[in-house]
Structure 1
Amino acid sequence: MARAFAEGAAAAGHEVETLHIDDYVTAFLRDCRECRTADGECGIEDRYAELLLEHMLPASAIAIASPIYWYGLPARFKCVVDRLVCYTSHRHRRSEEVLQRLRGKKYALLLSSEESNQGMSVGIVQQMSDFCRYTHGALVTVVNAVGNRRGEVARDPAQPLALARRTGAVLLQARATDFRIDTSRSGTVWSGGETG
């Protein structure tokens, strides 16, 4: 699904790169009071800083493509989120910059599992929704695919690859809403044209 998303984004003229978390994150969060270096940097020796500072923060939108393991995302993804504390803590010399650049991003979840149970992704969606709310971002779409082996989602009759491709094309224009009972709003969601 990541490939389909990237194809859609590139075809729409967006700059896109596909990264594998395993290439950047090899260690879990520790106690920053124990391993932070004298100059305030994270003391964990892997490529997380590169992932965050050179790829995630400059991005306007991020799509997370992942299998569902035991009704959640793999631990390595949770580690990416957990380790943000190293860079958002006031003890990190670039914390203000990281906090500012982390705000307002758009996210898409591209999930696959061997089960078609719609509840499979509920916990993941809730976690990402809360993360987005906390960072003033927006989870704008979730694509669920059914398949157990690499490439098997291509045979899913719901055509999740086509949806992932379309998501790549429109993610930057997509909107997420989270109305409250007193939210002022017009009677339409999309502007332009008459409804029939």
Structure 2
Amino acid sequence: MKVLAISSSPRRDGNSWTMAEAAAKGAREAGHEVESVYLADHVGGMLDDCRRCRLSDGACGIGDGYERLLMDRVLPADGLIIATPLYWYGMNGRLKTFFDRLFCYTAGSSPVGETVSAALPGKRVAALISCEESYRGATLGLEAQFQELTRYLHQELVGIVVGVGNSRGEVGSDPSRPLERAEDLGRRLFDVRVTDYRLDTPRSNRVWGAPEHEDDELY
């Protein structure tokens, strides 16, 4: 499988980057093809008024590397590892811009809209968050945002790892072992079982493994 690890922090060797590299290491050990990118190398412009900056053919007119990142690396990936520091109780601005600008490429007026909209669903996503607060509520808003983003895009959020640290590399001292958990999540990116039941979802009464008897099934 192809995996893209996106580090969105402007600090290239910071804590979220360290967590992204740990997850990438796990994915490589599982035999997957992994590429790591710094979002700052590709995303420079913020979402603007499309009526003003859209080109005559409907393409996005913001002149940075966003389109090549999206088309050449994000869309072909089977799995995404997305790492961000916690900024003001949310994702950092560059990562938010990455998601905001998906609008330009999924809109019906975009010349690649159908291609992008068809290729975004189905990806497995691991989210990694570094922050300096151990207060559990600090990251809940961002965790919910990742959940809703992946749900909207018909992707599977396989897990979230939060690491506590502030100084560069300090996340490695977090006693909850976020680097080990990130590495394990990367290793199991395509193996984690993700369920989102509805009232009418056919399912067994067993979580792990097939039922032993036909009457064990619940409908």
**Superposition deviation, residue 183 in structure 1:** 3.0
Give the letter for the 2:92 counterpart.
P
Give the letter for the 2:54 counterpart.
R
The equivalences for 1:98-113 within 5 A come to 98-113=116-131
Contact 2:205/2:211 (CA < 8 Å) preserved in 1?
no
**Superposition deviation, residue 193 in structure 1:** 11
Which residue pairs with 2:165 in the alignment?
147
Matched, 1:185 2:200: no
**Superposition deviation, residue 39 in structure 1:** 2.3
Of 187, 192, 205 in structure 2, the residue corresponding to residue 174 of structure 1 is 192
**Superposition deviation, residue 172 in structure 1:** 1.4
Of 11, 20, 24 in structure 1, the residue corresponding to residue 38 of structure 2 is 20
Deviation string, structure 1 residues 42-100 (Cα, Å, up to 9, x no partner): 10000000111111111111111111111111011110001001111111111111000
Give the letter for the 1:40 counterpart.
G
Which residue pairs with 1:157 in the alignment?
175
Give the letter for the 1:31 counterpart.
D
**Superposition deviation, residue 185 in structure 1:** 1.6
Matched, 1:39 2:57: yes
**Superposition deviation, residue 6 in structure 1:** 0.9
Matched, 1:56 2:74: yes
Of 99, 102, 108 in structure 2, the residue corresponding to residue 84 of structure 1 is 102
Using the size of structure 2 for normalisation, the TM-score is: 0.85
Contact 2:204/2:211 (CA < 8 Å) preserved in 1?
no
Paired residue secondary structure (1:16): strand
Using the size of structure 1 for normalisation, the TM-score is: 0.94
Matched, 1:136 2:154: yes
Distance (whole Å) between structure 2 residues aligned to residue 150 and residue 57 of structure 1: 31
Q: Percent identity?
A: 47
Distance (whole Å) between structure 2 residues aligned to residue 192 and residue 175 of structure 1: 14
Distance (whole Å) between structure 1 residues aligned to residue 133 and residue 20 of structure 2: 19
Distance (whole Å) between structure 1 residues aligned to residue 168 and residue 201 of structure 2: 43
Q: Check 1:186–1:193 CA distance in 2 against 1; reply closer, same or farther (3 A cut).
A: closer
Q: What is the total number of aligned residue pairs between the two structures?
A: 194
Give the letter for the 1:56 counterpart.
V
Of 105, 117, 120 in structure 1, the residue corresponding to residue 135 of structure 2 is 117
Of 20, 26, 48 in structure 2, the residue corresponding to residue 30 of structure 1 is 48
Unaligned runs of 5+ in 1: none
Which residue pairs with 2:16 in the alignment?
none
When the two chains are superposed, the root-mean-square deviation of aligned CA atoms in Å is 1.5
Unaligned runs of 5+ in 2: 1-18, 213-219
